[in-house]
Amino acid sequence: MSEPAPPTAAPRAGRGSGAFTIEGTDGAARAGTLELGRGRVRTPSFMPVGTLGTVKALSSRDLEGVGAEIILGNAYHLYLRPGLEVLETAGGLHRFMSWPHPILTDSGGFQVFSLARISQVDDDGVTFRSHIDGSLHRITPERSIEIQTVIGSDIQMAFDECPPGEADRERARAAVERSLAWLDRCRRRHDELAADAAAGRGPGLLFPIFQGGSYEDLRLESLARTLEGGPWPGIAIGGLSVGESKGVTRRILETCEPHLPRELPRYLMGVGYPDDLLEAVGRGVDMFDCVAPTRNGRNGTAFTEEGQVNVRGARFARDERPLDPGCDCECCREYSRAYVRHLLVCGEILGLKLLSVHNIRFLIRLTSRARAAILRGDFESWAGGWLARYRSGGSRSEGGSPC
């Protein structure tokens, strides 16, 4: 297995410089800033997921209010609805959803494999039927880059094959090979579009994704061969948080961390429960996304310093305290637990929004506090204390696929 090559040139052209500066480290944990044309992203960073051009239940102004610096859009979903013609007419997703700050898009690969009815996967791409109306579509690596360029995201993700967490070695190996071959095609198409767009804005930065399932040797090989295809402006760890145990997630992160170029922002896809996020920051990860805060919010579950809480519980019926006394979100500033519980029990839309706002703010505050702890050289002890408190009252079971 070859040692990962260090980046030898500036990141590929894209929106913004893509410059990533590390301002402090503490053990493997890092505090940095990623400069994008539409704004800076301070890391560790949690990216709320705006599947269909809206982070569910929040407006773009709500997103600014919770301190989001970058959000995620799903190429697969946006390609199906509203579709590329609508996004092209609007001048891209930023204008469409009134969000002038950075956007990262996934490539569509994960959703095609998890949501669509696959008709055919071959070395060239994937033919699938829409989960909405059964219509037939085909996405190739080149097409994914074109779709993300119409969306206009600041960071594009390579089109990869992401096997489930329990995939056997043969399947994991095949996904590594296919993802590497597709990455090469993504990069070429991305280069072409960047060259074509010399006059205007080109495609966003392109982040590769490495795979390898739960197999250390495959992980390191996938990482090394991915880096050989670079230089890249960042790198994503794919195929985790897809059903494997948390022990496996941590082991893989620990195995890969020493081999990840220090200079690149590292994005762990699909992770975003508070404790998982903090564990991964301690293992050198900079960027995160997950639907957990919004999906849990809509189910009536709040993140708090003492773990997850089902806000529908009768014990909150006359509880006049804010959900989380230390939180500065709209929900905690303005309303009591009793009120939020009442809204949830009655199925009121405002309840879904307030809990979604709170949970996203909770994660963004958590990344800010982790960042501050890293910068003062105190991350390990701070995170240890935080996790012990959080887990003392937590109700979520271990394992499973949270996102």
SS3 120: strand
Our CB check for a copy of itself shows the closer of 73 and 125 to be 73
Closest separation in Å from C-beta 192 to a copy of itself: 27
Give the separation between CA 341 and CA 1, rounded to whole angstroms: 55
Closest separation in Å from C-beta 153 to a copy of itself: 17
Contact 75, 126 (CB under 8 A): no
- What residue ranges bind a copy of itself (CB under 8 A)? 52-54, 56-61, 81-82, 85-86, 89-90, 96-98, 317-318, 320, 330, 334-336, 338-339, 342-343, 345-346, 348-350, 352-354
Q: Is 106 part of the annotated catalytic residue set?
A: yes
Q: Are strands 20-26 and 29-36 parallel, antiparallel or unpaired?
A: antiparallel
First to last CA, the chain: 32
Contact 93, 87 (CB under 8 A): yes
Q: Is 124 part of the annotated catalytic residue set?
A: no
Strands, DSSP E only, in 68-111?
Answer: 71-74, 103-106
Our CB check for a copy of itself shows the closer of 227 and 292 to be 292
Closest among 329, 280, 266 to 303, alpha carbons compared: 329
Residue with structure tokens 């189910």?
A: 299
Give the separation between CA 370 and CA 388, rounded to whole angstroms: 15
Please give the DSSP secondary-structure letter assigned to residue 300: T
Closest separation in Å from C-beta 290 to a copy of itself: 19
Distance of CA 59 to the CA centre of its chain: 19
Closest separation in Å from C-beta 334 to a copy of itself: 4
Concatenating the DSSP letter of every residue in 11-22 gives PPP-SS---EEE
Give the separation between CA 87 and CA 82, rounded to whole angstroms: 7
Our CB check for a copy of itself shows the closer of 59 and 245 to be 59
Our CB check for a copy of itself shows the closer of 251 and 342 to be 342
* Catalytic residue, candidates 26, 154, 286, 289: 289
Closest separation in Å from C-beta 51 to a copy of itself: 9
* Catalytic residue, candidates 106, 275, 276, 286: 106
Closest separation in Å from C-beta 168 to a copy of itself: 37
Our CB check for a copy of itself shows the closer of 16 and 351 to be 351
Our CB check for a copy of itself shows the closer of 30 and 56 to be 56
Give the separation between CA 26 and CA 264, rounded to whole angstroms: 17
Helix (H) or strand (E) holding 45: strand 45-50
> What amino acid positions are annotated as catalytic residues?
106, 289
